[in-house]
């Protein structure tokens, strides 16, 4: 009998999007893979209920925390290859969708180069889900027909930003910024300088779909002060454009609305430790 080919013993890596954090927004496939996995390498951004549903002996935290402890991407890449070569069924669990500012593309390249079989399991993406649960449609037939997704936290090794804020200001559409809490003063100033009206509505949705979700609204001119007054911290989504004001028409009837607005009748006070970022 011939020896078993090494490839027969190689495991499979699943790049899985967990959605914005609410465990009920996990896809059926994502839940099944989490139950079947030998090892789950997870970020900080999947909701705590999702992470805690995975037995501690089967999960490894490889997350990155804004301004705090970080697991290097090179370590995560190496660990994925190592575990798969041990024949493990591995889930790489990410917040939102693995290919929307989630470094899933980088990990897929590493796996392909190493000859590791992998699959991609899309997740509900936070730049749509977080505004949605806050009562903000990122598109609306009567107001806006385009939306742009932008990262507010680019690779720090890049010589210059690849985000063209003046071009975004010219689109007339909704701008949704991920990981943009810290740099909010910089890019709101860029957009104003590019001609976007200072009274343009803006909303910040912190921990969208989580029990501790909070929302603060303002304008391009006032949102930095509103952020500071409410103490909004990462992870949060920034929505810039006319649709951000649409929330006011819905909020009185919206369940789980997450008010942090100074004008809100009630404030959602449930909280968890803050500081995560992708």
Catalytic-role residue among 22, 44, 64, 277: 64
Cβ-based neighbour number of residue 24 at 10 Å: 8
Active site residue 1: no
Which residue in the list 22, 44, 97, 179 is annotated as catalytic? 179
Exposure b/e, 115-140, CB count within 10 A at least 16 = b: ebebebbbbbbbbbbbbbbbbbbbee
Residue 163: exposure state from Cβ atoms within 10 A (0-12, 13-18, ≥19): middle
Half-sphere exposure for 70 (CA within 13 Å, toward CB): 8
CB atoms within 10 A of CB 143: 14
Angstrom distances, CA of residue 177 to CA of 13, 131, 147, 149, 193: 29, 11, 11, 6, 18
- Residue 64 designated active-site: yes
* DSSP string over 188-245: HHHHHHTT--TT-EEEEEESTTSTT-EEEEEETTTHHHHHHHHT--SSEEEEESGGGG
Catalytic residues: 43, 64, 179
């Amino acid at each position: 009998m011939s020896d078993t080919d090494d490839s027969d013993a190689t495991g499979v890596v699943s790049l899985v999007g967990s959605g914005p954090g609410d465990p009920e927004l996990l896809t059926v496939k994502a839940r099944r893979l989490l139950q079947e996995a030998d090892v789950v390498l997870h970020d900080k951004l999947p909701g705590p209920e999702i992470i805690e549903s995975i037995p501690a002996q089967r999960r490894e935290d490889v997350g990155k925390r804004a301004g705090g402890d970080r697991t290097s991407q090179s370590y995560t890449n190496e660990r994925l290859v190592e575990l798969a070569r041990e024949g493990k069924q591995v889930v790489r669990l990410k917040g939102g969708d693995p290919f929307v500012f989630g470094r899933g593309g980088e990990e897929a390249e590493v796996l392909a180069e190493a000859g590791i079989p992998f699959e991609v399991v899309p997740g509900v993406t936070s730049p749509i889900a977080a505004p949605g649960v806050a009562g903000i449609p990122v598109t609306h037939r009567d107001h806006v027909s385009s939306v742009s997704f932008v990262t507010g936290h680019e690779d720090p090794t890049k010589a210059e930003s690849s985000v063209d804020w003046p071009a975004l200001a010219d689109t007339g559409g909704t701008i949704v910024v991920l990981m943009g809490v810290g740099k909010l003063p910089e890019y709101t100033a860029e957009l104003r300088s590019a001609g976007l009206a200072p009274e343009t509505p803006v909303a910040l949705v912190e921990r969208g779909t989580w029990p501790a979700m909070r929302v603060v609204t303002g304008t391009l001119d006032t949102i930095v002060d509103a952020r500071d007054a409410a103490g909004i911290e990462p992870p949060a989504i920034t929505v810039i454009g006319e649709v951000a004001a649409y929330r006011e028409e819905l909020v009185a009837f919206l369940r789980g609305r997450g008010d942090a607005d100074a004008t809100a009748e009630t404030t959602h006070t449930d909280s968890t430790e803050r500081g995560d970022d992708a």
